[in-house]
Structure 1
């Protein structure tokens, strides 16, 4: 009789375990809100070191360093559905100095982006010098190495991966396989789950998710104004070098190109 009761208890528990495994929830669509923390003083010093002595922009940045805070936080939003994802800034009012540095393209380009994992297409739109630039190309190539380090972000267990993109820019990402779409902040992608944390030491910023909402977002499959002519990354790089090369050094241009694309 005792053995019969034990068997009954065992079989009674089976449906509970099966149900929990069968109905594990892996979201296919939603919206992730991020905080992008920029270490302004360090970033400005990095720009100064890349500029020539006597350069007007160098003098301006040197004057700004004592006036700005150590960091500023910009809010971003990542919408995802199926194989598609959209990236956009959350509009806020900032300190006038911060706003001016954003307009100069030093702190952030306020990019709008789109990724399609099925077609391997990526788009990005941003303003520069009063004009809108639209990039339409394949997904950015990222080389990842997954580690055994973990941390919790926005309530999700995330695993660390070290990556290299644009041939030489080192990044650290934290992804979760609990959200199976292989995308992340801005143009990052390629890990077995969504990237909820990203650190870019060269650009002196980090991005961490603060909230994940499971809703049904509207994702635009085209970014930028219709009148803007889309170009490949190589075309964009050549145009910026042609436009800015006469008064900016190579280091400064490389910093700008990385900020645009990451």
Structure 2
């Protein structure tokens, strides 16, 4: 009898401890997240080559670049968040000369501010030496949450598959332990922070390596005074007008996805 009573007491003490832990669980609302973005350079270059028009003279140049390039390049990014605001920015990392040259074509180093409450996004990036600035509503993503889980940077994350920019398939891993519904770049819309993000057609993935609960610096004004922001639709229309003569629609769509994700 005493043995059974002892077991029962231990059981209820265990339940009490779990309840106390749940009651005092910490759900941070501000901090900074370091990400590593891995670009599969050879695969991405081959994809661009496959989208070229017949007889495009740049094919030979791209083939030469592919033969010399490494398989991957790893970049560093930082996301600062507070409440419903996020600021995403590139961080310096040493690369060799060839990779630096290729990244000028394959990665735009975008700075992205999102106001999730107002459903607004601002983006500033470099494209071929020219500045592109975007101010628009949040990127629309249709998510489907799955039952696949993964631990990223010490956080239990759940997988979600999504479609964005009309037809681009994406994969995200989010944690509800950080309640901000944001993520790297312009991605958002899940019930927690996105710590892993994959865009198969762009041949890149980005995963958090460190989460710090420090006072963040959120830059809300990322444009220069002379900049005139455009919407995503306006940027695409201008790109098509300028480059449509020698670029296919598929190339332009690939370019837009690389700019906006």
Runs of 4+ in 1 over 6 A off after TM superposition: 1-15
Q: CA separation in 2, counterparts of 1:3 and 1:45?
A: 68
Q: CA separation in 2, counterparts of 1:5 and 1:166?
A: 60
Q: CA separation in 2, counterparts of 1:258 and 1:186?
A: 12
Q: CA separation in 1, counterparts of 2:35 and 2:146?
A: 23
Q: CA separation in 1, counterparts of 2:146 and 2:14?
A: 36
Is structure 2 residue 189 aligned with structure 1 residue 190? yes
Q: CA separation in 1, counterparts of 2:52 and 2:62?
A: 10
Instruction: Determine if contact 1:132/1:224 at 8 Å carries over to the other structure.
Output: no
With over 3 angstroms needed to count, the CA separation of the structure-2 counterparts of 1:7 and 1:226, relative to structure 1, is same
Instruction: Determine if contact 1:115/1:139 at 8 Å carries over to the other structure.
Output: yes
Structure 2: which 5+ runs fail to align?
Answer: none
Deviations 1:69-123 (A, max 9, x none): 111111111110011001111112212122112223xx21100001111111101
Q: How does 1:162-181 map to 2 (within 5 A)?
A: 162-181=161-180
What is the match of residue 140 of structure 2? Answer: 141
What is the match of residue 127 of structure 1? Answer: 126
Is structure 2 residue 36 aligned with structure 1 residue 35? yes
Instruction: Determine if contact 2:53/2:246 at 8 Å carries over to the other structure.
Output: no
Q: CA separation in 2, counterparts of 1:240 and 1:61?
A: 21
SS of aligned partner of 1:69: coil
- TM-score, structure 2 normalization: 0.92
Instruction: Determine if contact 1:112/1:224 at 8 Å carries over to the other structure.
Output: no
State the Cα RMSD in Å.
2.1
With over 3 angstroms needed to count, the CA separation of the structure-2 counterparts of 1:3 and 1:102, relative to structure 1, is closer
SS of aligned partner of 2:181: coil
Question: What displacement does 1:63 show?
Answer: 0.5
What is the match of residue 96 of structure 1? Answer: 97
Is structure 2 residue 59 aligned with structure 1 residue 58? yes
Instruction: Determine if contact 1:51/1:58 at 8 Å carries over to the other structure.
Output: yes
With over 3 angstroms needed to count, the CA separation of the structure-2 counterparts of 1:96 and 1:2, relative to structure 1, is closer
Question: What displacement does 1:10 show?
Answer: 8.4
Q: CA separation in 2, counterparts of 1:171 and 1:5?
A: 52
With over 3 angstroms needed to count, the CA separation of the structure-2 counterparts of 1:13 and 1:247, relative to structure 1, is closer
SS of aligned partner of 2:65: helix
Question: What displacement does 1:8 show?
Answer: 8.7
Is structure 2 residue 76 aligned with structure 1 residue 75? yes
Is structure 2 residue 260 aligned with structure 1 residue 261? yes
- TM-score, structure 1 normalization: 0.92
Question: What displacement does 1:57 show?
Answer: 2.6
With over 3 angstroms needed to count, the CA separation of the structure-2 counterparts of 1:49 and 1:131, relative to structure 1, is same
How many residues get paired?
260
Q: How does 1:196-211 map to 2 (within 5 A)?
A: 196-211=195-210
Q: CA separation in 2, counterparts of 1:217 and 1:253?
A: 36
